[in-house]
Amino acid sequence: GAVVSQHPSRVICKSGTSVKIECRSLDFQATTMFWYRQFPKQSLMLMATSNEGSKATYEQGVEKDKFLINHASLTLSTLTVTSAHPEDSSFYICSADTSGGAFWGETQYFGPGTRLLVL
Amino acid sequence: EDQVTQSPEALRLQEGESSSLNCSYTVSGLRGLFWYRQDPGKGPEFLFTLYSAGEEKEKERLKATLTKKESFLHITAPKPEDSATYLCAVQVYTSGGSYIPTFGRGTSLIVHP
């Protein structure tokens, strides 16, 4: 099956610094990628939808200036958490889609996630 | 507001002890309901998609069913390797053409040998 990777898998940073997380589709081209955040024992919350070559669409309540998303190619999307604070500590997951976002389920391939801890 | 509720929050089973996980939803215009398996520290892994009431899907020891208000994930004779968190998500039609699903909080399943 299709593979999506994320890097890094775990990152610890100081409050006020910026952190970049990469999401790559390794063996397919993804026109659409999604970024999620998951707090312990909470549901997966969609943060934004990233389309290659265009601006990301952010979900309500997600600060676009704080969570910068860049989808520069069909295989790479990046999420930058700017001026991170302890409340940004969470598990960040990306998914890559082969249907342009029209369908879900079997056309969505999730990355392994990135654990961010802000001290 | 669309809602997805999974129960129980946690479930402990003995190996071989069959059970069911529930996902109830209150949405208008269901487009699809999805089940995922998530291992600790990993991203979700797709299991099933259900589109209409009465539909059933099976994979090894897992069987997913769908009604107009809820979905069940039945686990028959589970093994310790079935231990994971099982996530349910629903996708709805929106006037804006959005297809973003809403996830439940998941059911954490532990199967003891």
Whether residue A102 contacts residue B97, with contact meaning beta carbons closer than 8 Å, is answered with no
Name A23's bridge partners: A6, A77
CA distance A41 to B67: 26
| pLDDT tens by residue, A5-29 | 999 999 999 999 999 999 999 988 8
What is the 8-class DSSP label of residue A86? G
Q: Which of A78-87, A93-102, B21-30, B33-42 has the lowest mean pLDDT?
A: A93-102
Mean pLDDT, chain A, rounded, equals: 90
Count of pairs with CB atoms under 8 A, one residue in A, one in B? 58
| pLDDT tens by residue, A43-56 | 899 999 888 888 89
| Nearest residue in B to A42, CA atom | B105
Chain B stretch 34-73, residues whose beta carbon is closer than 8 A to a beta carbon of chain A: 34, 36, 41-46, 48-49
pLDDT in the model for residue B100? 73
Cβ-based neighbours of A107, under 8 Å, separated by 6 or more:
A97, A98, A99
| pLDDT tens by residue, B80-103 | 999 999 999 998 776 666 667 889
The reply to whether residue A43 touches residue B105, judged by beta carbons under 8 angstroms, is yes
